[in-house]
Chain A
Amino acid sequence: MADKARLRRRYRAERRFRWYGISATILGLLFLGAILVSTVVLGHSAFRQTYIKLDIFFDPKILTPDGKTDPDTLRQANYPAVVKFSLREMFPSVTKRNEQRQLFSLVSLGASDSLREQITANPALIGSRDSLWLLASDDVDQFIKGKIRPNAPENERQLNDLQMQWVHEIVARGLTNLRFNAAFFTNGDSREPEIAGILGAAKGSFYTLLVTLVLSFPIGIMAALYLQEFAPKNRITDMIEVNISNLAAVPSIVFGLLGLAVFLNFFGLPRSAPLVGGIVLALMTLPTIIIAARAAIMAVPPSIREAALAIGASPMQTALHHVVPLASPGMMTGAILGMARALGESAPLLMIGMVAFIADVPQGIMEPATVLPVQIYLWADSPEQAFVEKLAAGIMVLLTFLVMMNLLAVILRRRFEQKW
């Protein structure tokens, strides 16, 4: 009897144990799902942007008052006045200065930018008339997307009653349009949420990671190979080994401080450049890569080395022809995971000036740039409500890159992994 009771207890304990495991997994998945769903719910609307159709008259009296059409004059011409003129024609009853100002704020500053682009590309358009789809302001955009409650008290809305009335009229005339927001993928940062794009940060991340990869991958692999295959076992190598493990656990901001002190102040490298960011992140990812690479090299069976040496290969040939190719899936996985971590870092970049407003899209590793996580942080810090959807969309872009990198790591492991 006693042993049966004991057996039942053991079975129960077994079932409970499984349930703990299952509920832990489910809880984890729920959290992940909640984050993903809330990001997508918040951010999906950022991929569409509101446009307003305006009748634009490229009035030569406004644009080229002195008749000159050189590029400088054309670039600095008064495009906002052209937009304002068109809005005044649309609502001729609005005459008070204060009301006109409220009317003009329905159209984005980006509208003038797009007119500037058209005119500088084709000065012959001056004097012509055209109906153009131009960017609406962020507040109008939020309203069209249903993110401003129309029945809230007037002083709690970004659009006042008068502006709402105008927007309703524009919508009723069919002059608004929600379109795919291509500018989000082709623009750099901007203070205007409707113009702000992710390309500057994405390219900044690309250049930074390029520098990181070029530095940390070969150095990390060489260090791992030497330590694992050639280094004598003594006090010094033991010390190095312990220190590499310690370095892997150092908070990333410390690497940023190091970057500020050494690369900026001592070597005088430019602030905000992906080069410096890449070097700092390379220092940060090196321990990860070395540890992963050593584990991969260790997993290569000694019989392979012995076979190579037995038929006359030199130690270098043994390492390069046999050990490295067999260990490479593990090495690459480690490197990709290290890169994925570097992609998500923002703290070390704070000290070296990459947490900054940089509107131009960087064209190389020496040009000022910011990175994806920093861009998300900067948008989160901006007062305009419309940045909330941009930041969620930014998170989606960042997650896409991370998932792709992790997927690559999995594929590499699956394809090239050797079972012994």
Chain B
Amino acid sequence: MIKKQIALSVLMAGAMTGAAQARDQVQAVGSSTLFPFATAVAEQVGKLSGGKTPIVESTGTGGGFKLFCSGGGENTPDVSNASRQIKTSEVDLCANNGAGPLIEIKIGYDGIVLANSKSATQMKLSLLDIFNALAKELPSGEGKTIPNPNKTWKDVNPSLPDVQIEVMGPPPTSGTRDAFVELAMEGGCQSFPWVKSLKGTFDPQFKKICDTLREDGAWIDAGENDNLIIQKLVANPNAIGVFGYSFLERNTDKVQGSFVENVVPDFDMIAAGAYKISRPLFIYIKANHLDTVSGLKPFIAEFISEMAWGPDGYLAEKGLIPLPDDARSKMHSEAAANAKL
């Protein structure tokens, strides 16, 4: 055993000398929703610059910030992809660990869809239906809640089919989950006036009522693999899946998106803001790394080029909903100034 330790420490010492040199390869972490977009940009940068292709890890938004904010040194990631805005707790974490100033760039929108198998009937849901089907506790009368009694969609709303509620969606570490809870659940929850009045005054209670998903099997944490959810939906026509629009777009032969508030999720509806459950996507960059990591500026420049994030760009082809023209050009000049491009 002693020999083993010696051998390991010798190897370690040799390896550390190699690791001290400066880095030219960009490292990005974060959301699995942005993974297809960030990787497409990374690949393009690698080809055009002739240098090293940035590395992109899919860790989930929350997991990404944990790594991103773990410090400001060269062995920490330069870019964090987020499918929601950074939380104050994460800003604090970054500041406490010395990650330095951050640059925020909004790159576009993503819709969150509730989809089921093509062989089942297409659902027409309201935000209130979604809340009534998936909340752990339902408000009943002023200041009181009861455990959710709804077993089937028909219990939720008589116009919906008589099938068991079974919804598969992303786990709590996912930004898609955060956005779904914030947009769909809280949206439906606010149909109850007394719950709405809690918002801003008793936020913890508001969050507890609105944000807590059922734990009795009606909601299933299905992991970060959206393809797996789609396969499960095909196998089980009664189930509904929650995932990003880009996956729906690629699998229109197998699954269909449900109407939400009478709007079907498609490119135009999400871009126009008519589809209710859509959220902005961000990338965060460490300003201190702009000068030390040589590939970082080209990576940002490519990300915010018209060829990438424009309406005809390759990211739109991968399912990103671009920002409107004026917002995009404004964001571009802002980001270019911040990143000293």
Residues of A within 8 A of B (CB): 71-72, 75-76, 101, 105, 109, 113, 116, 149, 152, 155-158, 190-192, 215, 218-219, 222-223, 240, 263-264, 267-272, 275, 279, 286, 353, 355-360, 366, 368, 380-385
Instruction: Check if B55 sits within 8 Å of A109, measured CB to CB.
Output: no
Closest to B254 in A: A156
Pick from B27, B36, B46, B49: contact of A383, CB under 8 Å: B36
Cβ–Cβ contact A357 & B252, under 8 A? no
Let me know if A157 and B253 touch, CB within 8 A.
yes
Residues of chain A with a CB closer than 8 A to B15's CB:
267, 269, 275, 366
Q: Is the CB of A380 within 8 A of B227?
A: yes
**In the bound complex, do residue B253 and residue A156 qualify as a contact, i.e. CB atoms below 8 Å apart?**
yes
User: Are the C-beta atoms of B253 and A268 separated by less than 8 Å?
Assistant: no
| Interface Cβ pair total, 8 Å cutoff | 114
> In the assembled complex, how far is the CB of residue A347 from the closest CB belonging to chain B, in whole angstroms?
14
The reply to whether A359 and B253 contact each other, CB–CB distance below 8 Å, is: no
What are 23 A-B interface contacts by the 8 Å CB criterion?
A: A76-B48, A158-B250, A191-B40, A191-B318, A192-B43, A215-B11, A218-B7, A219-B3, A267-B15, A269-B16, A270-B19, A270-B75, A286-B4, A357-B39, A358-B53, A359-B39, A360-B52, A380-B225, A381-B224, A381-B227, A383-B246, A383-B251, A385-B250
Complex contact A381–B42 (CB within 8 A): no
Residues of A within 8 A of B318 (CB): 191
Closest to B35 in A: A357
Q: State in angstroms the CA–CA spacing of A106 and B15 once bound together.
A: 47
In the complex, the answer to whether A381 meets B225 with C-beta atoms within 8 Å is yes
Q: How large is the interface on B (under 10, 10 to 19, 20 to 34, 35 or more residues)?
A: 35 or more
Across the interface, which residues of A come within 8 angstroms of B251, CB to CB?
Answer: 383, 385
**B57 located at the interface, meaning its Cβ lies under 8 Å from any Cβ of chain A in the complex:** yes
Are B7 and A215 in contact (CB-based, < 8 A)? yes
Asked whether B16 lies within 8 Å of A383 as measured between CB atoms, the reply is: no
Query: Is B58 an interface residue when CB atoms closer than 8 A count as contact?
Result: yes
User: Once the chains bind, are A116 and B253 in contact (CB under 8 Å)?
Assistant: no
Interface residues of B in 299-318 (CB under 8 A from A): 312, 314, 317-318
Is B193 located at the chain interface by the 8 A CB criterion? no
Known: A219-B3, A269-B19, A383-B251. A113 touches B47 (CB 8 A): yes
Residues of B within 8 A of A101 (CB): 312
CB of B211 within 8 A of chain A?
no
B224-255: contact bitstring with A at CB < 8 Å (1 yes, 0 no)?
11110000000000000000001101111100
Contacts of A353 in B (CB 8 A): 55, 57
Residue of A nearest to B252 (CB): A156
- Asked whether B146 is an interface residue with its Cβ less than 8 Å from the other chain, the reply is no
CB-CB < 8 A to A382: which residues of B? Answer: 36, 227
Known contacts A109-B314, A156-B252, A269-B15; 17 further A-B pairs (Cβ under 8 A): A72-B50, A101-B312, A113-B47, A263-B12, A268-B75, A269-B19, A275-B15, A353-B55, A356-B58, A357-B39, A357-B55, A359-B39, A382-B36, A383-B227, A383-B249, A383-B250, A383-B251
B35 proximity list for chain A (CB < 8 A): 357
Q: Which of B19, B55, B118, B312 contacts A268 (CB 8 A)?
A: B19
Task: Tell me, in angstroms, the Cα distance from A27 to B19 when the chains sit together.
Answer: 51
Picked from A223, A264, A356, the residue with its CB within 8 Å of the CB of B4 is: A223
- With A368-B55, A383-B251: A360-B19 Cβ-Cβ less than 8 Å: no
